[in-house]
Chain A
Amino acid sequence: DQQVKQNSPSLSVQEGRISILNCDYTNSMFDYFLWYKKYPAEGPTFLISISSIKDKNEDGRFTVFLNKSAKHLSLHIVPSQPGDSAVYFCAARRAGGTSYGKLTFGQGTILTVHP
């Protein structure tokens, strides 16, 4: 049962335009959401996160939006740059207990930004 889903395997965007990556989740116990970026032959690197008590978090060109009622989050990259081309993973964490270190990941979306 895939509790975190990224339904778009790939996304292609022109440099300078906006990239929007989407993620849906099913478990209402998730209280913290993260986006990771992964380049080939490297491990995932943390990009941005959002707590379930917020609906938006911004860091430079990256903004994450959370819609709890729809169990949906999205990552906006504006403006997109060729160096943003990578695989993006959405991840979620459950509240409480020993869960603080465990992340449940989506399948990933390959973003390609064309010059």
Chain B
Amino acid sequence: EAQVTQNPRYLITVTGKKLTVTCSQNMNHEYMSWYRQDPGLGLRQIYYSMNVEVTDKGDVPEGYKVSRKEKRNFPLILESPSPNQTSLYFCASTTGVHNSPLHFGNGTRLTVT
């Protein structure tokens, strides 16, 4: 089954403790990205990657890192999480074909205390 898989689904951590949220897709998509969803703001792009070793900032990149060492994986790294990073995070992927939609994972609910 074609899908985007994120782990973990739920995560509670404390301020400053480094964490990684994994994302993997099995559709051979070139483009992958991370979004965060916050009430009243919709989804906002954090980082994106157009291919292996090619990453760039989205609209809200502060406090996040990413890497793209393999085509299928695109982990999101919070080196020193803060409470304002408490949010619902989604990984997404798409092909480079014109007008192809984004396919989303099921989300990771992160709470930073």
Please list the residues of chain A having a beta carbon within 8 angstroms of any beta carbon in chain B. Answer: 4, 6, 32, 34, 36, 41-46, 49, 51, 89, 91, 98, 100-103, 105-108
Residue-wise, chain B 26-54 has the 8 Å CB interface mask toward A (1 for contact) of 00000101010000111111001010000
- In the complex, what residues of B have CB within 8 A of residue A4's CB? 42
A45: nearest chain-B partner, CB-CB: B104
Give per-residue flags for B92-108: 1 if the beta carbon is below 8 A from chain A beta carbons, else 0: 10101011011111110
Q: Lowest 6 A-B CB distances belong to which pairs?
A: A43-B104, A105-B42, A101-B31, A46-B101, A105-B43, A107-B42
A32-B99, A49-B99, A49-B101 known; A41+B45 contact, CB < 8 A: no
Taking a contact as CB atoms under 8 Å apart, the answer to whether A46 and B102 are in contact is: yes
For B35, B56, B101, the residue with the greatest tally of chain A CB atoms inside 10 Å of its CB is B101
A44 contacts B90, CB within 8 Å?
A: yes
Q: Are A107 and B40 in contact, with the CB atoms below 8 A?
A: yes
Tell yes or no: B58 within 8 A of A by CB: yes
Residues of B contacting A: mostly:
strand
A51–B106 CA distance with the chains assembled, in angstroms? 27
Q: What are 23 residue pairs bridging A and B, where the CB atoms are less than 8 Å apart in the complex?
A: A4-B42, A32-B99, A36-B104, A41-B106, A41-B107, A42-B107, A43-B90, A43-B92, A43-B107, A44-B43, A44-B90, A46-B102, A49-B99, A89-B42, A98-B56, A101-B33, A101-B50, A101-B94, A102-B58, A103-B102, A105-B42, A106-B42, A107-B42
* Chain B residues within 8 Å of chain A by Cβ, number: 27
- B49-81 contacts to A, CB under 8 A, are 50, 56, 58
- Dominant secondary structure of chain A at its interface with chain B: mixed
- Residues in chain A near residue B40, CB distance under 8 A: 107
Question: Across the interface, do A101 and B42 meet the contact criterion of CB distance under 8 Å?
Answer: no
Q: Which residues of B contact A51 (CB under 8 A)?
A: 99
A42 engages B106 (CB within 8 Å): yes
Binary CB contact string for chain B from 6 to 19 against chain A (1 if under 8 A, 0 otherwise): 00000000000000
Give the distance to chain A from B49, nearest Cβ to Cβ, in Å.
Answer: 9
Is residue B4 contacting chain A, with contact meaning CB distance below 8 A? yes
* Contact status A108-B42, CB under 8 Å: yes
